[in-house]
Chains A and B, each alone.
Chain A
Amino acid sequence: MQIRLILATLRHHRLTAALLMLQVALTCAIVCNVVFMIIDRVGQISIATGVDESGLSMLDSEVIDASENTLARQQQDLAALRRLPGVTSAVAVDSLPLGRDESSYGACASLAQFERLASTRSLDQSGCLQPAVLGGTAGELNTLGLHLVEGRDFHQDEFVKGDAVAVAILSRALAEKFYPGKDALGQTIITGSRKPVRIIGIVDTLVRPKLNAFGSNQLAMLWPMPPDSRSTTFLLRSTPQDRHAVLQLAVSQLMRIEPNRIIAPELVRTYSDMRKAYFEHDTTMISLLASSGLGLLFVTALGITGLANFWVQQRTRTIGIRRAIGATRGDILRYFQTENFLIVSFGIVLGMLLAFALNLTLMKFYELPRLPLYYLPIGALLLWILGQLAVLGPALRAAAVPPVVATRSV
């Protein structure tokens, strides 16, 4: 009975109701996709690096005298850094997970595969991979705080100058890619030098310096290879609260023992700072997506409230008459609530179709995955609640209209 009445009234205001429905539909479509994109980005920025990030900090030092023996200078610097109060370990590395600068090598499980890779120069169907290689001085594994699940750390005599290493520690994901279904420990891989590199250790998780390059983010390995360029990244482990003090000490100590070097101030930072900088784009995007989603819901709620207010004012006399002939306050309240429910429901039905269309467009241009179906009921519920909250005020005001209004002349 009430529904028929509402539908009749809505037909009378069909243009206004249609506009409101369209607004609800667009909001539903955009908000579903925005929430989906937010969750996608949050997943990206919360990636586990495998590194124990809390007590780690770093700085870049470059010796500018071309004649200097870089490895000897590195050893001297490291010894000085390790003596600093608060420093529990220090190593020199050439790259870091999420450090952006990456060196990667074509690597295969067998020499035959490698020769094929070298002749075709194409990774596709070669069975080979392009993992990132992280080189460093002895103790890198522990300073990074990587979790070794199999095998051992490098021995002192395994460290070599240049990239002709004989052993490597792989991420579990990389080991499984080379030797699927088998224990990779003790097996070998072939890279540029064409000499077998033996897998002596496997760490749980290790991500590459630069994500989304050359396939999976987990394709990375450690090599016993001290950085041999004039620019070196020194990695320091301390307690989390000591990080800034340790960095300051380290800079002044390094400048004291060899003033002829460049330490770029913006690269003297904690690992957390570096991680934050790495994901700054995504963080900005998340906050923009979130604020536009909230903005849309806010404007739509305003629209619903504004329109309901108008209708209540417009129908005051009708409401009075209905009250006078026996409708209770609850009837009036429910009338406006049901009316809103109907409008929002129609909007949601259209909104679901639009949400899918929008998702298809985004998939085409932004490599976004398909919108999972369960977003739709959640989106619908959200808009129903929003609609009911927005209409509550005006509906209560309508319910408060006394029957006596019916007897007043306009």
Chain B
Amino acid sequence: MFGYYLDLAWHSLKRSPVLTALMVLAIGLGIGASMTMITVLHVMSGDPLPERSSTIYAPHLNPLPLDFHQNPYAPDPAASFTWPDAMALLKAHRAEHQAVMAGGQLLVRPDQAGLHPFYANGRFTTNEFFSMFGVPMLRGGGWSAADDDTLVRSVVLAETLSRRLFGTIDSVGRSVSLGNTTFRVIGVARDWQPRPLFYADTTAKVFSDSDLFFLPLSTSIDLKFGSNGNESSWGGSSIDMKSSTMSWLQVWVQLRNVSQASAYRQFLMDYSAQQKSLGHFQRSPEEATLTPLIVWLKQRNLVPSDVRMQLWLALGFLLVCMINIAALLLAKFLRRSGEVSVRRALGAKRRDIFFQLGIESALIGVAGGVLGLLITQLGLLSVRHRSDDYAKLAQMDTPMLLATLLLAIVASVLAGLIPAWHTCRVAPALQLTTQ
């Protein structure tokens, strides 16, 4: 029966090729626009650490005084940690793994002839960073907890930077000049670019920035490297990286299960209460929170409002296209009332007619989906030419490809629903007599 209906639908569509083409074009345009934006949103809401994201948590403390006035144009200082708080959480070692970090930009001065000095972005952090996030190492490894205290001048390079400086030779054990200081390379990490780069501070371009080196945080403070992220100070104007009134550090922890998480949450509140009783904090300990990475990403709302508007625009366009197709299909189906009534008189049930017309709509959907796929590729190509940091990520993957076809078929079947329902109610006898 399905084959027969398909045949009927094909013939019906062939009978009015222009109208069919219009409908396919409309659904193709609507699907193309929508899927371009849905794909952009899809790549922007990806999981940065697919295997371990459920165990990674963002702790949060609020050391700001009660009368602190938040400038609406400035980032929230409490989004980062002060040095004393970050170090207290690190040394307490209450989580499975914990690391403190800040972004930095350093001048790289290659020894090799023919290479000009250049700037590279990297991360100043503590030793558990690598094991907590599962940074894949090509050669060598990170540093020890003891190294964090002894201000060692060791660095882990990303593969890209190692290749740029040393070519294909093993760079472990060699030295490199970063920020006018000589560091010894102790490891080379595979180019590891979680998207979004969630652990960077709020000023980072989380969809395009990546770290080319990792070196101990204590060493970076000792050498006065300074961070390239946001540094917010609320007590006096002097800039002291170890001050308890300047926030600039990010802290992440890994917790194996729910009970560990609730214990850690309690620990954060206890710490805040203790700081409050010491007079360091002014706010309620309840303001200390612990947020799972995935929830935290949702709260940070990394999708720019323009992209959101583009999505709504595309979906509005699709809706108008669907209504357009519904009207055209209705006219087309009603015109075949005669044929329908004959089939009804010959014994076809309403649902047979409904099914037959539904297949005709679906066929338009399949054609529109294929066209929509092409238009989506064009749309994504234009997105990749934008200068936004997410631009390079706009690629279609298999789930999105299938979603495009599915959405096209669903949209056209939905659009065909009212016309098919309306048409299948044609009474058999009445139409036969008028003919």
Contacts and interface: CB of A to CB of B under 8 A. Distances in A.
B314 A23 contact: no
A11 B71 CA distance: 60
B386 interface: yes
Given A64-B107, A300-B320, A16 B33 contact: no
A34 B30 CA distance: 17
A299 B24 CA distance: 11
A376 B313 CA distance: 20
B317 A306 contact: no
Contacts, number: 109
B328 A281 contact: no
Contact of A281 (B22, B117, B334, B388): B388
Interface string A18-30: 0110110011001
A19 B327 contact: yes
A47 interface: no
Residue among B19, B107, B118, B316 with the highest chain A CB neighbour number at 10 A: B316
A46 interface: no
B323 interface: yes
A39 interface: no
Interface in B257-283: none
Interface in A308-355: 309-311, 313-314
Nearest to B107: A64
Interface in A30-75: 30, 34, 64, 66
Nearest to A289: B313
A299 B118 contact: no
B33 A307 contact: no
Contact of A310 (B25, B180, B326, B331): B331
Interface stretch (A118-126, A146-154, A159-167, A378-386): A118-126
Residue among A34, A292, A311 with the highest chain B CB neighbour number at 10 A: A292
A311 B319 CA distance: 24
A299 B332 contact: no
Interface string B71-112: 101000000000000000000000000000000000101000
A314 B335 contact: yes
B-side interface mostly = helix
Given A15-B418, A214-B73, A310-B19, A30 B324 contact: no
Contacts of B234: 121
A104 B216 CA distance: 33
A214 B74 CA distance: 9
A280 interface: yes
Nearest to B36: A288
A295 B317 contact: yes
Interface in B103-129: 107, 109, 116-119
Given A15-B422, A26-B323, A299-B321, A285 B331 contact: no
A86 interface: no
B320 A26 contact: yes
A268 B313 CA distance: 37
Nearest to B30: A299
A307 B119 CA distance: 63
A277 interface: yes
Interface residues of B, number: 46
A227 to B, nearest CB: 18
A30 B316 CA distance: 8
A26 B22 contact: no
Contact of B116 (A13, A262, A295): A262
A123 B71 CA distance: 8
Interface in B409-429: 418, 422
A366 interface: yes
A23 B327 contact: yes
Given A23-B323, A280-B387, A288-B313, A366 B71 contact: no
B320 A15 contact: no
B324 A23 contact: yes
Given A213-B73, A365-B305, A19 B323 contact: yes
B228 interface: no
Residue among B68, B69, B422 with the highest chain A CB neighbour number at 10 A: B69
B375 to A, nearest CB: 11
Given A64-B109, A262-B116, A16 B320 contact: no
A229 interface: no
Given A23-B324, A213-B73, A280-B387, A306 B19 contact: yes
Interface of A: 13, 15-16, 19-20, 22-23, 26-27, 30, 34, 64, 66, 120-124, 213-214, 260, 262, 277, 280-281, 284-285, 288-289, 292, 295-296, 299-300, 302-303, 306-307, 309-311, 313-314, 365-366
